[in-house]
Each structure stands twice: as C-alpha cells, then as structure tokens.
Structure 1
C-alpha cells in the first residue's frame, strides 16, 4: 500500500506532511504576473567545464538520476551562498516514444513542455541532503524545460533500468553541456519552493530557465518509466521573480549537447 502511494502524487501528503504545505513545486509561471528583480544577476559556474570521475546513473523510482562524484559549483544568481552540484535528473511524458507528450513539471503561461531537466545543488556549508532539507535555502535547483525532442535512432538495448535501484556507471561529460549557453542563463525565473518528489521539503531556491532546450531521444528505446512528473501546485501567496536581463524571449533553439539518447544507451547496455 505504501509503495503504491509513492507513485500517486495526490496521495503523497498522506505519507509526507510537507507535500500538503503551501509552498510546493512545481508551479505554473504566469509571465504577466512575475515581478522584475534587479538583483537577479548572471550565474558563475565552477567546475562545469570538465568532469573526470565516472557518473552513477540510477533508477530511483521517480526518475533517471545521475549522481555526481566531484565538485562543481554555482555562485551569484542572487544566491546567498555557494552551492555544490550533487545530481541531475529528468522528467518526461509518454504517448508512444517517451518524451513525445508534455512531461515537464513547470509550465509557463499554462504551456508544458516535453521534458524538464533538474540540476540539484546543495549549499556548500551543509554536509548532506538530509541536513539541507532543514533549511529554506538548503538546495538550489536549476530547471530547464525542453522543446519537442528530436528523434534520433540509437541501437536497441536490453532494458535493465526497469529494476528499481538499478545503477550503472558511465564516462562523464562536461556539466556545461547540460545547460544553454551562459549568455542565455541571464534570463530566468526565481521562486521559493520544494522538492517535487517525497518528502516535498520546502527547501529549494528554484531557478527555471526561460530558454527551453532541444533534446534528442531514441526512436528504438522503450522506457518503462513514464509520466514521472508531479502535477502543478498552487502558487498561493508566493511571488515569482524574473531576472533583470530584459524581457523573457520566446523559447530559443539551444542545443542540449548531452543527449537523452546517450544516457539511455548507457543505462540499457
């Protein structure tokens, strides 16, 4: 019974009290109601150019999670501390080839996108995620919604990720390849929210990228895990801010160099 509830987001609050609180994520960002914050400056990235330690890919029951083994950090962006990247993961939809229907968690003016990438960072002075979720600014997540994926044929592999807790290693890529060009990262939305998986701790400084990326997916790959997104949560009394780099432009065609297909081939080989 408990296991089944974990896969039904509307039931999460029965097991995790914070999932029923007032500052939950994801949200719908209404651009006509966001407020300009002139203090939201560009980010500074450390260690995003090169990674050497192997990445650990895992089916954690909610997503494909990639645990990072070495330090990469972000500062500025109006964050009050330096934050260390600990992992990244994806959310996607279904309808045939995975990712071909809306599967992003955040929406902008009611529009949801095919996928969403989350790069999770922990405040540098905190020793663990368990400690970080006790603080309202314990975690900083960079979220980037993705346009309709581009189908790319890749070799078919046996599905190992179907097993909960399955882990494999892969050669690392530059974390910089996960994000749009830095010049586009001057334009983003900011709000205070929560984790989008149990226990929904309200400990996240959210940065939602205003330039959706273009990702690739396999035309051959069949992934058992689908529709792994949490429904939109009420904004309540919170305010969403936008950065001071000018008006948010329509989605740009920024290429996500690290491809979903590449990750999935690694997982299923």
Structure 2
C-alpha cells in the first residue's frame, strides 16, 4: 500500500482501480471527516468489550510485506455500538508515515477537518448497522482510534521491542500477549465516535465496511512512533524501509458521516508521524 513505488512491480494507490474495479467506486475509504457536516445519530450507543482485560495465548507478530500484523490466538469480543451480535477479534495491523533527516510525515488513513492524527486503531467485523434514517448491511466493520505523539506509552513497549525481530518481509515472531484493554483508551472515553459506510483500504477495496472513528486519542512517545519506519522493511533483503504504507483520502461523495450522541469534538492532533492499527474482527456465531 505504499505511495512510494521504488520497485518495478509496485502499483501505487492511484493505479488500484485499474487492477481492482471496486477500488474506483463511490464509497471508498479512508475519508476526511468534516465535523461541521456530520449528523447526530442517537442510536449509536457505547461499546462493550469482553476478554480485553487478559490474554494468555501467545500472539504472532509478522511483517507481511505491507504492514506489521499481530494475530491473536485467543478470543476477545466486542458488542453494542449498534452491533447486532458479538464479534471476535483475530488480528490487528499498523499503518504509518515516514521519518528521516528531512523530518517526519503523518501516516493516518483518516483525517478530521483536514488534520492527520497521530495513530489509529480499527476493529473489523461482520455486522449490520441501523442508524438515523440509514441502514447498512456489511461484511466488515472497522472501529478506528486516533493516536497522538506525546508521552512514552509503556503498554506498547513490549510490542514495539519485538519489531527488531521482524525487520524483513515474511518474518514472524511469537510474543507474550498483552491486555487489549491497555492498548486502547479507557472504556468511559469510547462513547464519542463517528460512523460512516466505506470500504477496505487495501485492494480489492471491498465496499462492505462500516467504519467507527473514535475521537479519544492514544499517546505514544516520539521514539516509539519512529521505531516503525526505521526498523521494518518492505523487502526481504532490507533494501526498502517500510514507510507511508497507507491509502490516501478518498472522496466522500453522497455519503453521510454520523456521530454518536456523546460526540463532542476534540481539537485535531498536531503530531507529525502517524500510525494506524487495524484490528481484524470476525463474527462470532452463536
């Protein structure tokens, strides 16, 4: 997903629609959320997280050639937030910008009022959403958290420390599991969020996703953020640092962005380097 094509067989985001027709459709992600144009949806309730307090089975941390992916070996569930059943977390992955002698650049996929955020967490799941005057049947849902550069976050240290073992594409390492609860904001701060219908941000860009964009940011230290673009590589021979592995903003078109009833607007983050974490969720059949 890098915007920088340094190899001959790379197809940057503007070329995706030539290879995958859905990437050129009208409900693509990510988007810029204009807070003055969002609509209140009183049906968007707070979320409930289960199994986020403790994990016991080891996680698998992997460089898959376009991101850093963490595969969970144990059940963690999410419900409410206008979801009609429980959903199981299976993996999450990161997106970030660039860092070098010239400075740093942001890497968030979504923006709010044109401002890029310091980090995102997105939980993908199968569910049906019914909001104010709208209904979306979707395959996946994505819960996204923003991150900002600030104080060092000790909760993320064990994960970031493992990056040195997955520098090359295809490398994997097992790590002790962390409490998922410690990686996201406190539950009481997760009542403010935006909701819209969109797509996956990687090919084939399936328009079967409902996005939930949380307002409460997560802090990481500057060095922690910089560890991603300076440690991990797109290549197996460590010749191409993994930077800017995100998709650019897509047109909103005729879509509407909704916000929860507790959706107070926070000031935009000013951090430069941005990371996105995507949590892959699959439906838990009961």
Q: TM exceeds 0.5? A: yes
Q: What is the alpha-carbon distance in structure 2 between the residues aligned to residue 264 and residue 80 of structure 1?
A: 14
Q: What is the alpha-carbon distance in structure 1 between the residues aligned to residue 152 and residue 56 of structure 2?
A: 31
Q: 1:22 aligns with which of 13, 17, 26?
A: 26
More divergent stretch after superposition (205-214 vs 19-28): 205-214
Report if aligned partners of 2:197, 2:255 keep a CA contact under 8 Å in 1: yes
Report if aligned partners of 2:97, 2:104 keep a CA contact under 8 Å in 1: yes
Unpaired runs of at least 5, structure 1? 1-8, 118-139
| 2:164 partner SS | coil
Aligned length: 239
Q: How far has the Cα of 1:100 moved from its partner? A: 3.9
Q: How far has the Cα of 1:234 moved from its partner? A: 0.7
Q: What is the alpha-carbon distance in structure 2 between the residues aligned to residue 265 and residue 37 of structure 1?
A: 25
| 2:162 partner SS | coil
What residue number does 1:133 align with?
A: none
Q: 1:254 to 1:263 in 2, by over 3 A?
A: farther
| 1:95 partner SS | strand
Q: How far has the Cα of 1:107 moved from its partner? A: 0.1
1:14-52, Cα deviation, whole Å (9 max, x unpaired): 222211111111000000000000001100111111111
Q: 1:82 to 1:209 in 2, by over 3 A?
A: farther
1:114-166, Cα deviation, whole Å (9 max, x unpaired): 3333xxxxxxxxxxxxxxxxxxxxxx999999999999999999955343222
What residue number does 2:114 align with?
A: 110
More divergent stretch after superposition (227-236 vs 195-204): 195-204
Report if aligned partners of 1:100, 1:114 keep a CA contact under 8 Å in 2: no
Unpaired runs of at least 5, structure 2? 1-12, 122-137, 143-148, 213-224
Q: Counting strand residues as a fraction of each chain, which structure ranks higher?
A: 2
Q: 1:252 to 1:20 in 2, by over 3 A?
A: closer
Q: How far has the Cα of 1:183 moved from its partner? A: 1.2
What residue number does 2:259 align with?
A: 242
Q: How far has the Cα of 1:193 moved from its partner? A: 1.0
Q: TM-score, normalised by structure 2?
A: 0.65
Q: What is the alpha-carbon distance in structure 1 between the residues aligned to residue 37 and residue 236 of structure 2?
A: 39
Supply the RMSD in Å over aligned alpha carbons: 8.1
Q: TM-score, normalised by structure 1?
A: 0.68
Report if aligned partners of 2:88, 2:283 keep a CA contact under 8 Å in 1: no
